[in-house]
Amino acid sequence: MESTAVLPLIVDMDGTLLRSDMSYANLLAMAAHSPEVLLKLPGWLLQPRNICRANMADVALPDTHNLPLNPDCVGLIVERRAAGARIVLIAAADSRIVAAVAQQTGLFDEWHGSNRDTDLSGANKARFLVDLFGERGFDYIGDSQTDLPAWQTARRAYTLGSSPRLQQNAASANSDIVHLAPTPASIAAWFLPLWRALRPHQWVKNVLVFAPLLAGHSFDLGHGVAALIAFVAFSLTASSAYLVNDLFDLDADRAHPRKRHRPLAAGDLSLRRGGFAAFALAAIAGVVALLTLPLAFDAVLTLYFVTTLSYSLWLKRKVFLDIFVLAGLYTIRIIAGAVAIGISVSPWLLAFSMFFFLALAVVKRLVELQTVIRTNHTRGHKRDYWVEDLSMIQALGAASGYLSVLVLALYFNSPEALSLYRSPQLLWGICPLLLFWISRMLILANRGKVHDDPIVHTARDRVSYLVGAAIIAVIAASVLL
Cα–Cα distances in angstroms (integers) from residue 202 to residues 22, 156, 205, 306, 330, in the given order: 29, 47, 6, 18, 12
Say whether pLDDT at 213 is over 70. yes
Quickly state the pLDDT bin for 384 (edges 50, 70, 90).
low
Q: Give residue 315's pLDDT.
A: 82
Of residues 185 and 337, the one with the higher pLDDT is 337
Could you give the CA distance from residue 77 to residue 64 in angstroms, rounded to a whole number? 19
Q: Give residue 50's pLDDT.
A: 94
Could you give the CA distance from residue 471 to residue 248 in angstroms, rounded to a whole number? 39
Average pLDDT (294-320) is: 89
Could you give the CA distance from residue 293 to residue 237 in angstroms, rounded to a whole number? 15
Of residues 188 and 430, the one with the higher pLDDT is 430
Query: Within its chain, how far is the Cα of 301 from the centroid?
Result: 20
| Region of poorest pLDDT, from 91-105, 240-254, 397-411, 440-454 | 440-454
Quickly state the pLDDT bin for 1 (edges 50, 70, 90).
very low
Q: Give residue 293's pLDDT.
A: 93
Could you give the CA distance from residue 311 to residue 253 in angstroms, rounded to a whole number? 16
Burial of 360: CB neighbours in 10 Å, binned 0-12, 13-18, 19+: buried
According to the 3-state scheme, what is the secondary structure of the chain?
A: CCCHHHCCEEECCECCCECCCHHHHHHHHHHHHCHHHHHHHHHHHCCCHHHHHHHHHHHCCCCCCCCCECHHHHHHHHHHHHCCCCEEEEEEEEHHHHHHHHHHHCCCCEEEEECCCCCCCHHHHHHHHHHHHCCCCCEEEECCHHHHHHHHHCCEEEEECCCHHHHHHHHHHCCCEEEECCCCCCHHHHHHHHHHHCCHHHHHHHHHHHHHHHHCCCCCHHHHHHHHHHHHHHHHHHHHHHHHHHHHCHHHHHCCCCHHHCHHHHCCCCHHHHHHHHHHHHHHHHHHHHHHCCHHHHHHHHHHHHHHHHHHHCHHHCCCHHHHHHHHHHHHHHHHHHHHHCCCCCHHHHHHHHHHHHHHHHHHHHHHHHHHHHCCCCECCCCCCEHHHHHHHHHHHHHHHHHHHHHHHHHHCCHHHHHHCCCHHHHHHHHHHHHHHHHHHHHHHHCCCCCCCHHHHHHCCHHHHHHHHHHHHHHHHHHHC
For 14, what's the count of Cα atoms within 13 Å in the CB-facing half-sphere? 22
Say whether pLDDT at 413 is over 70. yes
In this prediction, what percent of the chain has a pLDDT beyond 70?
95
Burial of 150: CB neighbours in 10 Å, binned 0-12, 13-18, 19+: buried
10-61: per-residue pLDDT in tens? 999 999 999 999 999 999 999 988 889 999 999 999 999 999 999 999 999 9
Query: Within its chain, how far is the Cα of 129 from the centroid?
Result: 38
Contact between 95 and 114 under an 8 Å Cβ cutoff? The reply is yes
Average pLDDT (213-230) is: 86
| Region of poorest pLDDT, from 41-45, 243-247, 348-352, 420-424 | 420-424
Contact between 445 and 366 under an 8 Å Cβ cutoff? The reply is yes
Domains and their CATH numbers in the chain: 4-185 (3.40.50.1000), 190-345 (1.10.357.140), 356-481 (no CATH)
Cα–Cα distances in angstroms (integers) from residue 462 to residues 168, 467, 468, in the given order: 52, 9, 10
Of residues 141 and 382, the one with the higher pLDDT is 141
Say whether pLDDT at 219 is over 70. yes
Quickly state the pLDDT bin for 375 (edges 50, 70, 90).
low
Q: Give residue 380's pLDDT.
A: 41
| Region of poorest pLDDT, from 134-138, 193-197, 273-277, 340-344 | 340-344
Contact between 68 and 19 under an 8 Å Cβ cutoff? The reply is yes
**Which of 89, 90, 99 lies closest to 61, judged by CA?**
99
What are the backbone angles phi and psi of residue 461, rounded to the nearest 5°? Answer: -105, 120
106-158: per-residue pLDDT in tens? 999 999 999 999 999 999 999 999 999 999 999 999 999 999 999 999 999 99
Quickly state the pLDDT bin for 69 (edges 50, 70, 90).
very high
Say whether pLDDT at 376 is over 70. no
163-208: per-residue pLDDT in tens? 888 999 999 999 899 999 876 656 777 789 999 999 998 898 899 9
Q: Give residue 4's pLDDT.
A: 47
Q: Give residue 162's pLDDT.
A: 81
Contact between 42 and 120 under an 8 Å Cβ cutoff? The reply is no
| Region of poorest pLDDT, from 147-156, 341-350, 382-391 | 382-391
Please count the other Cβ atoms lying within 10 Å of the Cβ belonging to residue 415: 7
Q: Give residue 314's pLDDT.
A: 81
Quickly state the pLDDT bin for 259 (edges 50, 70, 90).
confident
Average pLDDT (250-255) is: 88
Average pLDDT (328-351) is: 91
Contact between 454 and 360 under an 8 Å Cβ cutoff? The reply is yes
